[in-house]
Amino acid sequence: MHALKVTRAEDFPEWYQAVVRDADLAELSPTRGCMIIKPWGYGIWERIQGELDRRIKAAGCENYYFPMMIPLSFIAKEAEHVDGFAKEMAVVTHHRLKAVDGTLKPDPDAELTEPLILRPTSETIIGDAFSRWIKSYRDLPLMLNQWANIVRWEMRTRMFLRTAEFLWQEGHTAHADKAEAISETMRALEMYRAFSEDFLALPVVAGEKPENERFPGAVSTFSIEAMMQDGKALQAGTSHYLGTHFAEAQNIRYQDKDGGMTLAHTTSWGVSTRLIGGVIMTHGDDDGLRTPPALAPRQVVIVPMLRGKPEDDDLKAYCASLAAELGALNVFGAPLRALVDVKDARPADKRWDWVRRGAPLICEIGPRDAAGGQVTFIKRNALREGEKVKSHTLSRADFVAQADVLLRGMQKELFNEAKARLDGNIRDGFANFADLERYFGEDKEGEFKGWARVHWAKPTGAALEEVGQRLKALKLTIRNAPLQQPASFGACIFTGASAVEEILIARSY
């Protein structure tokens, strides 16, 4: 009997919804397409923020904050950018409500002279500021980041993966020349790769997006792609080299050493609460989430087996001192986060709540453990042996001494498990498009297909458009061209011509 009502094999989308709800991560809000992020889910986001913010600052960026509302005219400044975002924009048009026939409506006399849009991203309003802040080569490079909420009016929403409002971090930088801007673009990409793999235990493939998948207005777009347990790809982070597109549109120029006016080269990069969806679909099992220890808001949860008897006090004291002892330890470069769950509920219910949330180590301590100086615990990443829950017992001293090793080991085990799935499910050997059609065309519902690694001649324009259409018929997209490329290439699977690049093709979220 599993802790969730639906298993991954039965119905993956339903299972995903069940984890989000039963692990107490988030719920739907009365506002269409938006979610309420609950404490365990938000705690995970705070951990992401804390660690990534440290890495962003270590790279020399500073944080700042721009308004959530952007004048409508700003978004029109970069042509491709408009095309990319115009269709999913929330627009603020009035500044006052009025009761009309008993219902509150926007007051017709309070219409804004210029509507405001809720930011779908901030390139335009930040570019405007950059144009004022950057006067001289001495002002460069300018490297800034903001943590913010974003609004995109999506037609179809899914919790954490695509919601009308989401939380993210957007870095924006300006540089004197192309080489330096590209180097910053790659630095951010590598920062995301390392962060995902080390901290989220989420193995990814870093690479460059094809022309048709670029960010609107970018010269080149790079991504990290992760493989979910249903074989689909999830774009988990992006980094863009924007060239001088936004600099031209918004007049971001600096006076160089020779006194001439030169356009700056800009970049932007971001990750969002979508990462949490990626963690769920990578590490979740039929008992709920398995939160990687480095990421978990609580790494060790202690459930005292209280029985409403006098010895409960001794048991509570034992658990409290154990938690204090654990809290004095350092794991993953920070104090260990331990909690004694003293909520007045049945111990078994509390145990399963923490199993669903995915607390890495769940200690169940009864009077006998306390008397014997022991700790009985379960490891969430390897919860069961067969159908049965497997529990372990150590002396208290050994448990405290090994907590660090246990948590680090679990982090590694989760990563290795996901890494093996990623590496083991990227298929090679597609000689031509017909091979690809044969493999991806004949599928049963819910069948695991993984990704395809193929060679192509990297067509552009109309020819690329056609490639996109052919893939679309198989519900496939090009994910990226991995940074690590082979020494030589075979034939392009689309045209038969000599290939110039290796790319990953997959179904995606």
Partner RNA sequence: CGGGGUGUAGCUCAGCCUGGUAGAGCAUUAGCUUUGGGAGCUAAGGGUCGCGAGUUCGAAUCCCGCCGCCCCGACCA
Closest to 268 measured CA to CA, from 246, 233, 236, 242: 242
- Please report how close the Cβ of residue 308 comes to RNA at its closest, in angstroms: 5
Backbone angles phi, psi at 363, to 5 degrees: -95, 130
* Contact range with RNA by CB under 7 A, out of 58-66, 124-132, 134-142, 231-239: 231-239
- Please report how close the Cβ of residue 195 comes to RNA at its closest, in angstroms: 13
Q: Which of 36, 100, 348, 397 binds RNA (CB under 7 A)?
A: 348
Interface of this chain with RNA, residues 114 to 133, rule: CB under 7 A = 121
Cα angle at 148 between 239 and 104, to 5 degrees? 135
* Contact range with RNA by CB under 7 A, out of 107-115, 292-300, 304-312, 425-433: 304-312
Q: Which of 71, 106, 367, 490 binds RNA (CB under 7 A)?
A: 367
Helix/strand/coil for 486? coil
For residues 142 and 18, give the distance between their C-alpha atoms in angstroms, rounded to a whole number: 44
Residues 6+ apart with CB under 8 A from 227: 203, 233, 234, 282, 418, 421, 422, 425, 450, 451, 506
Strands (E), 209-358: 220-227, 233-243, 253-255, 261-263, 265-272, 300-304, 330-331, 334-335, 338-340
Q: Using the minimum distance from each CB to RNA, give the nearer residue, 130 or 354.
A: 354
For residues 127 and 78, give the distance between their C-alpha atoms in angstroms, rounded to a whole number: 11
* Contact range with RNA by CB under 7 A, out of 85-93, 420-428, 436-444, 487-495: 85-93
**Distance between terminal CA atoms of the chain?**
30
104 near RNA (CB under 7 A): no
Residues 6+ apart with CB under 8 A from 380: 290, 291, 354, 355, 358, 359, 360, 361, 362, 410
- DSSP-derived letter for residue 498 is B
Q: Using the minimum distance from each CB to RNA, give the nearer residue, 374 or 411.
A: 374
Tokens of 507: 């179904």
For residues 250 and 131, give the distance between their C-alpha atoms in angstroms, rounded to a whole number: 7
Q: Using the minimum distance from each CB to RNA, give the nearer residue, 56 or 271.
A: 271
Q: Which of 66, 137, 147, 352 binds RNA (CB under 7 A)?
A: 352
Site string for RNA, 184-223 (x = CB under 7 A): -------------------------------xx-------
For residues 472 and 437, give the distance between their C-alpha atoms in angstroms, rounded to a whole number: 11
Tokens of 407: 């948590």
Q: Using the minimum distance from each CB to RNA, give the nearer residue, 241 or 332.
A: 241
- Please report how close the Cβ of residue 41 comes to RNA at its closest, in angstroms: 15
264 near RNA (CB under 7 A): no
Q: Using the minimum distance from each CB to RNA, give the nearer residue, 280 or 492.
A: 280
162 near RNA (CB under 7 A): yes
* Contact range with RNA by CB under 7 A, out of 94-102, 367-375, 423-431, 456-464: 367-375
Strands (E), 152-247: 165-175, 204-208, 220-227, 233-243
Q: Which of 346, 390, 438, 470 binds RNA (CB under 7 A)?
A: 346
Interface of this chain with RNA, residues 424 to 483, rule: CB under 7 A = 472, 475
Q: Which of 78, 184, 285, 364 binds RNA (CB under 7 A)?
A: 364
Closest to 142 measured CA to CA, from 105, 113, 181: 181
- Please report how close the Cβ of residue 399 comes to RNA at its closest, in angstroms: 13
268 near RNA (CB under 7 A): yes
For residues 190 and 490, give the distance between their C-alpha atoms in angstroms, rounded to a whole number: 28
- Please report how close the Cβ of residue 156 comes to RNA at its closest, in angstroms: 4
- Please report how close the Cβ of residue 289 comes to RNA at its closest, in angstroms: 14
Q: Which of 71, 106, 115, 347 binds RNA (CB under 7 A)?
A: 347
Q: Which of 24, 53, 154, 325 binds RNA (CB under 7 A)?
A: 154
- Please report how close the Cβ of residue 409 comes to RNA at its closest, in angstroms: 22
CB 171 within 8 A of CB 188: yes
- Please report how close the Cβ of residue 71 comes to RNA at its closest, in angstroms: 21
Can you count the helices (H) and strands (E) in the chain? 14, 29
102 near RNA (CB under 7 A): no
307 near RNA (CB under 7 A): yes
CB 150 within 8 A of CB 69: no
Identity of the residue numbered 71: P
Q: Using the minimum distance from each CB to RNA, give the nearer residue, 136 or 393.
A: 393
For 387-432, the DSSP string reads TEEP-EEEEHHHHHHHHHHHHHHHHHHHHHHHHHHHHHTEE----S
170 near RNA (CB under 7 A): yes
For residues 424 and 422, give the distance between their C-alpha atoms in angstroms, rounded to a whole number: 6
Q: Which of 305, 322, 339, 481 binds RNA (CB under 7 A)?
A: 305
- Please report how close the Cβ of residue 154 comes to RNA at its closest, in angstroms: 6
* Contact range with RNA by CB under 7 A, out of 83-91, 249-257, 397-405, 491-499: 83-91
231 near RNA (CB under 7 A): no
Tokens of 358: 């995915």
Q: Which of 41, 210, 292, 366 binds RNA (CB under 7 A)?
A: 366
Residues in touch with RNA (CB under 7 A): 1-3, 5, 13-14, 16-17, 28, 32-33, 84-85, 87-88, 121, 152, 154-159, 162, 168, 170, 215-216, 235, 237-238, 268-272, 287, 305, 307-309, 345-349, 351-352, 364-369, 376, 391, 393, 472, 475, 508
